[in-house]
Structures are given as structure tokens and as C-alpha cells.
């Protein structure tokens, strides 16, 4: 690195999530967002950058394919947790794998670690210790206090909760996906996480035939103790 800012492309199927991730990047010194892409085709057509933040689920293909052919560095920001997908992303060259839902400080820490990684590797000759330090920088440890102002909710989590709150009736995972613009797999993962945290209640929707379908409702806010 020569002191110039690191350029970043954000690739996510939901333009709102892409924009929210881009805002996290823009808030960090030393980084600049050159653009966002919501499809594999748009990502391929984008100008070269230092780092791409890539979702796996894209409407016209897999983000792993983009990482495999991308000439710069890449990190995955995705709800995909299948072992074969993780292995494929690492084999394709992804430097990091951040699972949604995550909090903004987690992404900020990964980006700060990436900047350190680049600074270390800018040295003409590296020792074994320096190489270890560079690779360690890509896996920063971060555990913000639960009540910390920086521990803000993730963008997709916020979208899911807003969709449930605005709905006049309980929504299925497919309906949440349609309302938020994310994939059904992503919606299902967030709903499961929110249900586990008590922020969403789960019921069953019975049709005329077949198995009942899960439906979700935003849980009412907890009443303060007196």
C-alpha cells in the first residue's frame, strides 16, 4: 500500500443490504466504495477494486463463481453455512467468511484487519513472523458488549423485523423473503435466529392439504420491570 485508499465493491442480491454494507465501509478511514452490484453480471462488469464483499446467493448465479474469477481480494458476507459452500469459497480464494446476521462492528473489524494485512504485505521482504501476523490480521477477535452503542443490529435483521412489524398478519419465510428482497434461505436463517432470541414468535399455518407451514410474528416489546 502506498497510502492511497483501498477500493471496495459490495455485491449483494438486496440493494438495501448492499447500501447498508457500503455505508459501514465508507465510515472507515482508508476505504472507499467504488460501487455496489446486485447480480453476478453486474459484479463482473464492475471496475477492478482491491476488495470485493460478496454474497453467495445472487439471482443469476453464485458469488463463489465471482470470487473464483476475480483478480482482487474478496470476502464472503453471506447466510450460506453449508460446509461445501464454505469449502468452495475458501478454495476460490476468499480471505474471509462472515456469516449473516452479523453486527456492523464485526464487518468493521474484518476490514480493519484486511487493511493491516495489506500494510504488512506491502513490505518488500517478509519474515515468517510477518507472514503469520498478516494472516492473523484477517481473523480479528471482537466481542462488543451487548449494550454497547456500537453493537447495532445487522441490516438484514432490521429489514426482517420491519417486514414483520408492518404486516397485518403472520408471515411465512417465503413471504418475508418477498417483502425484504432476500432469498428464502436467508430469510429462514434470520427468522430462526430471531425466534431463538425471543424477538419473533413462531406459529403454524394449516392449509387444506399437506404439512402445516411455519409463520412468524414480531414479538411485542418487553414491558419494563417496576
Least confident of 61-65, 159-163, 174-178, 201-205: 201-205
The confidence band for 193, taking pLDDT boundaries of 50, 70 and 90, is confident
Q: What domains, with CATH codes, occur in the chain? A: 6-137 (3.40.50.2300), 155-218 (1.10.10.10)
CB-facing half-sphere around the CA of 75: CA atoms within 13 A: 25
Q: Are 138 and 182 in contact (CB under 8 A)?
A: no
Distances (CA, A) of 43 to 67, 85, 109, 174, 219: 10, 19, 24, 26, 37
Q: Are 54 and 76 in contact (CB under 8 A)?
A: yes
The confidence band for 148, taking pLDDT boundaries of 50, 70 and 90, is very low
Q: What is the pTM of this model?
A: 0.67
Per the listing, cell 423485523 goes with: 161
Confidence (pLDDT) at 195: 77
Confidence (pLDDT) at 4: 80
8 bridge partner residues? 33, 51
Rounded CA gap, 120 and 101, in Å? 30
Q: Which residue has the higher pLDDT, 12 or 151?
A: 12
Confidence (pLDDT) at 173: 86
Amino acid at each position: 500500500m502506498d497510502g492511497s485508499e483501498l477500493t471496495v465493491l459490495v455485491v449483494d442480491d438486496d440493494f438495501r443490504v448492499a447500501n447498508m454494507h457500503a455505508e459501514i465501509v465508507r465510515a472507515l478511514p482508508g476505504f472507499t466504495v467504488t460501487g455496489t452490484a446486485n447480480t453476478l453480471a453486474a459484479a463482473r462488469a464492475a471496475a477492478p477494486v482491491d476488495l470485493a464483499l460478496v454474497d453467495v446467493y445472487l439471482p443469476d448465479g453464485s458469488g463463489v463463481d465471482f470470487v473464483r474469477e476475480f483478480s482482487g481480494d474478496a470476502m464472503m458476507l453471506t447466510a450460506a453455512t453449508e460446509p461445501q459452500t464454505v469449502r468452495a469459497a475458501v478454495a476460490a480464494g476468499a480471505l474471509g467468511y462472515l456469516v449473516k446476521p452479523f453486527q456492523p462492528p464485526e464487518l468493521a473489524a474484518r476490514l480493519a484487519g484486511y487493511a493491516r494485512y495489506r500494510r504488512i504485505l506491502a513490505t518488500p521482504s517478509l519474515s515468517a513472523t510477518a507472514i503469520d501476523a498478516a494472516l492473523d490480521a484477517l481473523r480479528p477477535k471482537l466481542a462488543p458488549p451487548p449494550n454497547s452503542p456500537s453493537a447495532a443490529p445487522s441490516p438484514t435483521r432490521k429489514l426482517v423485523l420491519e417486514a414483520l412489524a408492518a404486516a397485518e398478519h403472520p408471515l411465512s419465510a417465503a413471504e418475508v423473503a418477498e417483502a425484504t428482497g432476500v432469498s428464502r434461505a436467508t430469510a429462514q436463517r434470520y427468522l430462526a435466529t430471531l425466534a431463538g432470541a425471543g424477538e419473533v414468535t413462531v406459529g403454524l399455518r394449516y392449509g387444506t392439504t399437506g404439512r402445516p407451514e411455519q409463520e412468524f410474528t414480531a414479538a411485542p416489546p418487553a414491558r419494563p420491570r417496576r
